[in-house]
Chains A and B, each alone.
Chain A
Amino acid sequence: MKFAEQSVVWPEIKEVAKPFYEGMQQHKIMIQQCSNCSTHLPPAQLVCDHCGCDDLTWVEADGSGEIYTYVVYHRSFHPAFNDQVPYIVALVELKEGPRLMGQLKLKEGQIYKVGSTVVTGFHKIDKNNELLYFQLEDGDS
């Protein structure tokens, strides 16, 4: 596997995940909800893991949550991210329950840990696409 073969940093979006990506372009976090048991599910599922129901609807999440876990890249493993090192990728547990992955963008001197409250922001990563990120709640954006 060579880096040159995977220069794309925007995923090929699967049909089942389209509402999430369309929502993101409008600065909305779209998650799924089971119409049978009301469990909120992380996108993008076909079947509710709780009750097995396959009637899921897309709903907008509040966009706030807590850091569930995170990693800090001290080395780049892809040329597109060379100038971002060190960067933080977090799994955030949204208020509704599902977890989402995004980079955690900090302002100078901000302290964070597992359990810190975060809110969602969006930034243009190329001419077509907006990508979500997380920031600490007390940060003014």
Chain B
Amino acid sequence: MMERQAALSAITGLGMTEFTRDYHKPSWQLAVDAIGLAIKDAGLEHSDIDGLLLNKSPLAELADFPMEMQDYAGLSNLSLLNVVEAEGSSMVQTIQQATMAIQTGMATKVVCVFADTPLQGDTSAGEAFAVAMPMMGHLGIEIANGFYTPIAAYAMAAQRYLAVYDRTTDDLGAVAISNRRWAELNDLAKLRKPLTIEQYREAPFLIEPLRMLDCAYPVNGGIAVVVTGVEQAKESPQPPAYIYGMGQGHAGNINRRGHQPEIETGAKQAGEIAYKMAGINASDIDACQFYDAFSISTLINLELYGLCGAGQAGEFVRSGETSPGGKLPVNTGGGHLSGYYLQGATPVSEAVMQLRNQAGARQVSKLDHMLVTGYGGRMQFHAALIMGQQERVQ
């Protein structure tokens, strides 16, 4: 057995605004609200905070989520301040950077925040994300082919996955159903009506092989966390959510024979580095909070993070192992598909609620090692955390 490690840091504060489908205020204001809630939740004052890491939506302008957030949130004398831009892996990366800063002494109490308002009254969810999806690098030929929305890039990955492993869209449906079963137990989740495989099959394709039920459910909202050192965390009024291991993987977008960037992603590398840092193996993972903007990514991530054999994730999910009562609970708040899509902040928020044993009807009983991940782009940027409830890895 590998040597189990002491925690590197802990999340001691969680702040969440209301998550809404209508537009109330701009994202910077939601961020300020979430920051204030997180600081209060951590039992700290604004003056205690010495680090601020900003996770802006890749679709938002920098001007909408600027460095001046420091001033909007009333935070002065920061010794760490940055906008972390790594697309959907950003929120996990902010927590990684906060941990590194705490480990080196650059900062001691760091707020990481995400907020977004994709729904702005006159903009539908489909429209908000209906940008041309870059897959071909400098060539830029996507736009001329009508290759719009991120859904399309994930549909490309899904079709490749289904063809390589000879699977059907029922595997994707199994993920949507597993998420929905968790959402039924979560008051924060947006889509809570039971979903059957028959209902899934009857739903029309949006961009085949993906249906609307395979796509994230966007909301407006903000989420912030406070990250501190392990000693500081002992003074926290909330049970600390410890971080034992961290990893990233960016395998590149190589569109030629011998490479399959759609289904062989940097998740594998991110997981291996994070497991090693924590002193555990994939088989030690008790639960996962994956970034799951599309159903296909849960199948691929289960396999690349070493939790299922290649092509076997669909069967694993269908057998109920990721659902309530299963042996590897996955996306226990309903995830992006049925819960709420606030990019990388969604899995982080659910991880903290679970690790505090504050998840109510959906609480998972054994949480020695939880895998929490983010990915961005067309699944080419990955970041992972190994988290748990004890100061030392169990």
Chain A residues engaging chain B, CB cutoff 8 angstroms: 1-3, 6, 8-14, 16-17, 20, 39-45, 49, 68-78, 80-81, 84, 87, 89, 91, 93, 97-103, 113-115, 125, 129, 131
A91 adjacent to B148 (CB under 8 Å)? no
A69 contact from B126, B149, B262, Cβ within 8 A:
B262
Tell me the complex Cα distance, A129–B140, Å: 15
Number of A-B residue pairs with CB-CB distance less than 8 Å in the complex they form: 133
If the complex has contacts A69-B160, A78-B148, A113-B163, are A101 and B143 also in contact, measured as CB distance less than 8 A?
Answer: no
A17 adjacent to B160 (CB under 8 Å)? no
Q: Which of B336-378 contact A (CB under 8 A)?
A: none
Q: A71-B208, A77-B148, A113-B163 are in contact. List 13 more A-B contacts (CB 8 A).
A: A11-B142, A14-B138, A16-B138, A42-B136, A42-B256, A44-B138, A97-B256, A98-B256, A101-B136, A101-B142, A101-B145, A103-B145, A114-B163
Tell me the complex Cα distance, A125–B144, Å: 9
- B140 and chain A: residue at smallest CB distance: A11
A74 adjacent to B140 (CB under 8 Å)? no
A6 adjacent to B131 (CB under 8 Å)? yes
B137 adjacent to A45 (CB under 8 Å)? yes
Tell me the complex Cα distance, A114–B59, Å: 32
Report the minimal beta-carbon distance from B152 to chain A, rounded to whole angstroms: 5
B156 interface hit (Cβ, 8 Å): yes
A71 adjacent to B140 (CB under 8 Å)? no
B130 adjacent to A1 (CB under 8 Å)? yes
Q: Which of B19-73 contact A (CB under 8 A)?
A: 59
Report the minimal beta-carbon distance from A98 to chain B, rounded to whole angstroms: 5
Counting from the closest, the 4 A-B pairs by CB-CB distance are A114-B163, A11-B140, A72-B208, A77-B148
* Interface residues of B, dominant DSSP: mixed
Binds A, one of B90-98, B199-207, B276-284, B298-306: B199-207
- A11 and chain B: residue at smallest CB distance: B140
A68 adjacent to B160 (CB under 8 Å)? yes
A74 contact from B59, B128, B148, B205, Cβ within 8 A:
B205
Tell me the complex Cα distance, A8–B145, Å: 12
A8, A81, A84, A99 interface centre (most CB from chain B within 10 Å):
A99
Residues of B within 8 A of A1 (CB): 59, 123, 127-128, 130-131
B159 interface hit (Cβ, 8 Å): yes
If the complex has contacts A17-B138, A45-B137, A98-B256, are A10 and B148 also in contact, measured as CB distance less than 8 A?
Answer: no
B254 interface hit (Cβ, 8 Å): yes
- A91 and chain B: residue at smallest CB distance: B156
Report the minimal beta-carbon distance from B107 to chain A, rounded to whole angstroms: 35
Report the minimal beta-carbon distance from A18 to chain B, rounded to whole angstroms: 10
B145 adjacent to A74 (CB under 8 Å)? no
B123, B137, B148, B204 interface centre (most CB from chain A within 10 Å):
B148
Tell me the complex Cα distance, A9–B146, Å: 8
Report the minimal beta-carbon distance from B121 to chain A, rounded to whole angstroms: 12
B74 interface hit (Cβ, 8 Å): no
Bitwise interface map of B from 235 to 259 toward A, beta carbon under 8 Å scored 1, else 0: 0000000000000000010111110
A-B contact pairs, 18 of them (CB 8 A): A1-B130, A3-B130, A11-B144, A14-B140, A17-B138, A39-B256, A44-B137, A71-B155, A77-B130, A77-B148, A84-B146, A89-B147, A100-B136, A100-B141, A101-B139, A101-B145, A113-B163, A114-B159
Tell me the complex Cα distance, A17–B136, Å: 11
B159 contact from A49, A70, A131, Cβ within 8 A:
A70
A77 adjacent to B254 (CB under 8 Å)? no
Residues of A within 8 A of B84 (CB): none
Q: Which of B145-197 contact A (CB under 8 A)?
A: 145-149, 152, 155-157, 159-160, 163-164
- B161 and chain A: residue at smallest CB distance: A69
B152 adjacent to A71 (CB under 8 Å)? yes
B160 contact from A14, A44, A87, A114, Cβ within 8 A:
A114
Residues of B within 8 A of A115 (CB): 163
Residues of A within 8 A of B144 (CB): 9-11, 125, 129, 131
- A46 and chain B: residue at smallest CB distance: B138
Report the minimal beta-carbon distance from B33 to chain A, rounded to whole angstroms: 24
Residues of B within 8 A of A45 (CB): 137-138
Tell me the complex Cα distance, A10–B126, Å: 22
A99 adjacent to B255 (CB under 8 Å)? yes
B273 interface hit (Cβ, 8 Å): no
- B212 and chain A: residue at smallest CB distance: A75
B135 interface hit (Cβ, 8 Å): yes
Report the minimal beta-carbon distance from A105 to chain B, rounded to whole angstroms: 11
Tell me the complex Cα distance, A2–B146, Å: 16
Residues of B within 8 A of A11 (CB): 140-144
Tell me the complex Cα distance, A68–B205, Å: 20
Report the minimal beta-carbon distance from B284 to chain A, rounded to whole angstroms: 34
B132 interface hit (Cβ, 8 Å): yes
Residues of B within 8 A of A76 (CB): 146
Residues of A within 8 A of B143 (CB): 8-11
A6 adjacent to B132 (CB under 8 Å)? yes
